[in-house]
Amino acid sequence: MFRPMHELKAADALGFTLDGRAMTARAGDTVAAALLANGVEACRQTPVSGAPRGPYCMMGICFECLVVIDGVGNRQGCLIPLQQGMRIETQAGRRQPDAVRA
Amino acid sequence: MNTLREIGQLAEHYDIAIVGAGPAGLSAAASAAELGLSVLLADENPAPGGQIYRAITTTPVADKCVLGEDYWKGGALVTRLERTAAAYAPGCTVWSVAPDETGGFELGLSLGGQARLVSAGQIILATGAQERPFPIPGWTLPGVMTAGAAQIALKSSGLVPSGRTVIAGCGPLLYLLAGQLAAAGANIVAVLDTTPRRNWLFALASLPDFLLSPYLAKGLKLMLQARRKLPFRTGVTALAAEGTDKVTSISVTHGGRTETIACDALLLHQGVIPGINLSNAAGCAQHFDAVQHCWTPTVDDWFASSIPGIAIAGDGAGIGGAESAALRGEIAALDAACRLGRISEAQRNAKAAPTQAELARSLRGRRFLDLLYRPAETFLAPPVDETIVCRCEEVTAGQIRDTASRLGVTGPNQMKAFLRCGMGPCQGRLCGPTVVELIAQAHKVSPAEVGYYRLRPPVKPITLGELAALPPTEAAVKAVVR
């Protein structure tokens, strides 16, 4: 849904994964911006109904861009700078008992 | 300027702590540091500038025409701060401000996943504005964002919406964003103006003042450019986003006619309101500003709040725009220095006088804009029952209306207890104004009579680990140890 105005230079590119899929984005992007630049629209499901949601405000107030980063849930993607090798996961709805045990 | 990247680098105490590195925070910090005060400027974002000057030092958008000359003015504020000895902590969230035993304040902060408590003699909250919630059916679908969000993606990452883009709402930022995105090559298939036509009647009395204001030339140019180049529809009275897993079209009613427009992105905006979560949680008195139609902290001419020692500068204390925010930060810093006994009242007054005059000039014409771009009732209190109001807890307009009228709920805090609206992670930021509006409508009273959420720290979620690692106070230990 978004595209970069400028071509990504190799020197500026950071590699990361979303749910195991390899992606690249520009150094300096936040996690939420990196996802948008890779065509990702929904980054979580809500805990109430399981509806898909994507980044909405990009300034840290709406909490729609919550994702799991390197195993830690409920991180605000729009406030966290992307880093090389980050493992990002879609935050799936309500926390399940199995997930807590794991 | 001393940039702090780790929480351990923070000092135990600062003369003044400033929250937010937008125009108000940057100029307050620079001004206080130039007066010899020890300054902490804490900001949640990775780089200075706030939202208006977002990524001013790091933006990849090299073509200066895209963001416009007003954006680039922000660089001077950062340059000024860089020449001082102020401590600047990016990526640092302030989640609590409370009075301590010494007559100063204790701040709860998090940086890099670790929390700390530091003390400060004076506080300036420069937490800025947020976009007013725009609750329409389907506004929670992926692909629907605020106009401000698209602008942030453009400024900080050079990202442009790639598909068919619809921009909807009202207010000067709408025209500015439409122009910026068009200049950046976005495919804008419609700009839907929701400004109620009768607003002109109310705004007209303030027109003479506006004609003398600095906004005029700028605003007219923006609007004319946008209208000439882009597919505009005015007099929009109903709007809905449609799609199952993402927005695929919008339904819009204007001039009594409803049409469907296929799109890949919908950008919503109906003005900005003060971000009040931190000032409200700190206990600063708030009132309902009838002209700007929003809850606003009550401040005096020096931007001092109802709590001595806490000032609120910039749009967080009422919308005035970027230039006025910087001036208000400057004035608040002078008053803080005076309260700390570093300058006399006479010195404060003399130093502030030219800034105060400039501030009066910069605010000229603001009332006209406030009245002209006041959102329509139908976009403040959504008439369609299925419209989600509280995005976090998925509470609808119909539920709130029903609970207000049938169960006689008269205030937002009681509504919270019944429906959980405002209890999700955003802590009411995206539903508060709408909940107030719906209750006011149900009981036929003003939003001022309904009140607002009573907010409490932490105003941003922190982990249990962060909390547990804080040193316990004597009172805290006594509360649990027998």
Q: DSSP letters of B333-360?
A: HHHHHHHTTSS-HHHHHHHHHHHHHHHH
pLDDT band at B243 (very low <50, low <70, confident <90, very high): very high
pLDDT band at A98 (very low <50, low <70, confident <90, very high): low
Pairing of strands B272-274, B39-42: unpaired
Check pLDDT > 70 for residue B253. Answer: yes
CB contact under 8 A, A62 and B51: no
Residue type for B379, please?
A: F
| pLDDT tens, position by position, B431-455 | 999 999 999 999 999 999 999 999 9
Cβ proximity of A92 and A45 under 8 Å: yes
Top-confidence residue, B220 or A22: A22
Mutation target to probe the A interface, by most A beta carbons within 10 A, among B141, B157, B427 is: B157
| CA of A101 vs chain B CAs: smallest distance (Å) | 18
Cβ proximity of B239 and B253 under 8 Å: yes
- The DSSP element (H or E) to which B174 belongs, if any, is helix B172-183
Provide mean pLDDT across the span B212-235. 77
Q: Is A36 helix (H, G, I), strand (E, B) or coil?
A: helix
How much is the pLDDT for A102?
A: 45
Q: Structure tokens of B355?
A: 């800034």
**Could you tell me which of B428, B386, B424, B394 has the C-alpha nearest to residue B411?**
B428
| CA of A87 vs chain B CAs: smallest distance (Å) | 17
| CA of A31 vs chain B CAs: smallest distance (Å) | 11
* Rounded alpha-carbon distances, angstroms, from residue B394 to B102, B371, B384, B430: 43, 31, 15, 12
Provide mean pLDDT across the span B131-151. 98
A52 close to B (CB below 8 A): yes
| CA of B209 vs chain A CAs: smallest distance (Å) | 33
CB contact under 8 A, B46 and A66: no
Residue type for B153, please?
A: A
How much is the pLDDT for B478?
A: 85
| CA of A80 vs chain B CAs: smallest distance (Å) | 8
Provide mean pLDDT across the span B247-268. 97
Q: Mind spelling out the 3-state secondary structure of A38-66? A: CCCCCCEECCCCCCEECCCCCCCCCCCCE
Q: Which residues of B touch A5 (CB under 8 A)?
A: 60-61, 66, 154, 158-160, 184-185
Task: Give the dihedral sign, CA B290/B308/B24/B361.
Answer: positive
pLDDT band at A101 (very low <50, low <70, confident <90, very high): very low
B144 close to A (CB below 8 A): yes
Composition of chain A by helix, strand, coil, percent to 5: 15, 35, 50
Cβ proximity of B254 and B211 under 8 Å: no
Domain ranges of chain A: 11-88
Round to whole Å and give the CA distance between B54 and B51.
5
Write down the ipTM of this complex: 0.94
Phi, psi of B108 (to 5 degrees): -100, 125
Q: How far is CA B106 from the centre of its chain?
A: 24
Number of H helices, E strands in chain A: 2, 8
Average pLDDT value over all residues in chain B = 94
pLDDT band at A14 (very low <50, low <70, confident <90, very high): very high
| pLDDT tens, position by position, B153-197 | 999 999 999 999 999 999 988 988 898 999 899 999 999 999 998
Q: Structure tokens of B450?
A: 């309904």
Q: How far is CA B305 from the centre of its chain?
A: 18
Q: Which of A30, A56, A63 is nearest residue B425 as measured by Cβ atoms?
A: A63
CB contact under 8 A, A33 and B61: no
How much is the pLDDT for B447?
A: 97
Pairing of strands A44-45, A21-26: unpaired
CB contact under 8 A, B142 and A54: yes
Q: Which residues of B touch A59 (CB under 8 A)?
A: 45, 51, 130, 148-149, 152
Residue B98, class by beta-carbon neighbours within 10 Å (0-12 exposed, 13-18 middle, 19+ buried)?
Answer: middle
Interface of B with A in 275-294 (CB under 8 A): 275
Q: Which residues of A touch B45 (CB under 8 A)?
A: 59-60, 79
**Could you tell me which of B96, B87, B125 has the C-alpha nearest to residue B5?**
B87
Round to whole Å and give the CA distance between B49 and B56.
6
CB contact under 8 A, A33 and B391: no
CB contact under 8 A, A42 and B245: yes
The answer to which of A67-81, B26-40, B195-209, B410-424 has the lowest mean pLDDT is B195-209
Check pLDDT > 90 for residue A36. Answer: yes
| CA of B16 vs chain A CAs: smallest distance (Å) | 24
Check pLDDT > 90 for residue B229. Answer: no
How much is the pLDDT for B32?
A: 98
Mutation target to probe the B interface, by most B beta carbons within 10 A, among A58, A68, A70, A74 is: A58
Check pLDDT > 80 for residue B225. Answer: no
Residue B478, class by beta-carbon neighbours within 10 Å (0-12 exposed, 13-18 middle, 19+ buried)?
Answer: exposed
**Could you tell me which of B294, B342, B336 has the C-alpha nearest to residue B133?**
B294
Q: Residues with Cβ < 8 Å from B339, sequence gap 6 or more?
A: B122, B308, B309
A13 close to B (CB below 8 A): no
CB contact under 8 A, A63 and B60: no
Top-confidence residue, B469 or B275: B275
How much is the pLDDT for B471?
A: 80
Of the CATH numbers 3.10.20.440, 3.30.43.10, 1.10.8.60, 1.10.3720.10, which one belongs to the domain with range A11-88? Answer: 3.10.20.440
Q: Which residues of A touch B165 (CB under 8 A)?
A: none
Check pLDDT > 50 for residue B397. Answer: yes
A29 close to B (CB below 8 A): yes
How much is the pLDDT for B224?
A: 73
How much is the pLDDT for B319?
A: 97
CB contact under 8 A, A48 and B45: no
